[in-house]
Amino acid sequence: MSPNCDFTPGAALRGGVPLCLPWFGVHPTDPHKPKHGFARNQFWQLGEAHLKADGQVELEFLFVSEANELFPYDFSVELRMILGHQVTMELTVNNTDSEAFSFSWALHNYYKINQLNQTKVLGLTNRTYLDNLEGLIEKTQTTDVNFPGAVDRVYLDIANPLVIDMGNSNSQNIEITHENCPSVVVWNPGSEAAAKITDIGANQEAFYICVERGAVRSEAWVLEAGSSASAKVSFFATPSHS
């Protein structure tokens, strides 16, 4: 969590895992609608909570949305978390409406890091991406992703796991696996933008990166009336080889 996080009810929290849905980023047809949808700003209901025999904790959160001016369809979402030596988050979206709709989403994970200039994201080399800092122009990732300045990239059709390499033999890396999350977003605002964002603040960009999995832009889900779709993300510490 950002030390400058705004906890005012209705504000999007700067940290943790905001759930960006029913659309990711700027709304595709109406830029006046809230960025990243509206679910991340709402209270979710705790449906179940279990302590498992192996010591893991399982939690289920529920969100129900009736058709409204922001999204004119009924839907519900279930988020199941399993917390233990690794964290698993399983998202299920249910179309409870009488019509089909398009639905994009991302788990907007904020990961704490030690030194931004040593941190890399492994697993995206030689893949194309859309550069959100340059009008979504398509580029090729020729090296591991590093952070010499602001980074805001969308990678599509990424099936393989990713690793956040902390670049330090004294730190554990983070491996990220998934099921049915084709899109990857990598983001850090850089020092200039961070200093202008109230709930981040000057120099705070040096202590986190966002590596997000989901289904965004052309990979948005299309759900028929009465249908459901699910996806899963797991992340866990792995030994550093730096």
For the segment 145-149, the average pLDDT, to the nearest whole number, is: 97
| Catalytic residue flag (residue 241) | no
pLDDT surpasses 60 at 242: no
Q: 129: pLDDT confidence band, cut at 50, 70 and 90? A: very high
Distances (CA, A) of 118 to 21, 92, 113, 171: 32, 35, 9, 12
pLDDT surpasses 70 at 67: yes
Predicted local confidence at residue 239, as pLDDT:
83
For the segment 190-205, the average pLDDT, to the nearest whole number, is: 96
The phi-psi region of residue 31 (left if phi > 0; otherwise alpha if psi is between -120 and 50; otherwise beta) is alpha
Predicted local confidence at residue 21, as pLDDT:
98
For the segment 132-156, the average pLDDT, to the nearest whole number, is: 97
| Catalytic residue flag (residue 108) | yes
Catalytic residue among 27, 36, 108, 178: 108
For the segment 32-37, the average pLDDT, to the nearest whole number, is: 96
The phi-psi region of residue 164 (left if phi > 0; otherwise alpha if psi is between -120 and 50; otherwise beta) is beta
Lowest mean pLDDT among 2-16, 119-133, 211-225: 2-16
Each residue's pLDDT tens digit, 82-101: 999 999 999 999 999 999 99
pLDDT surpasses 70 at 79: yes
Each residue's pLDDT tens digit, 40-49: 999 999 999 9
Domains of the chain, CATH where assigned: 19-238 (2.70.98.10)
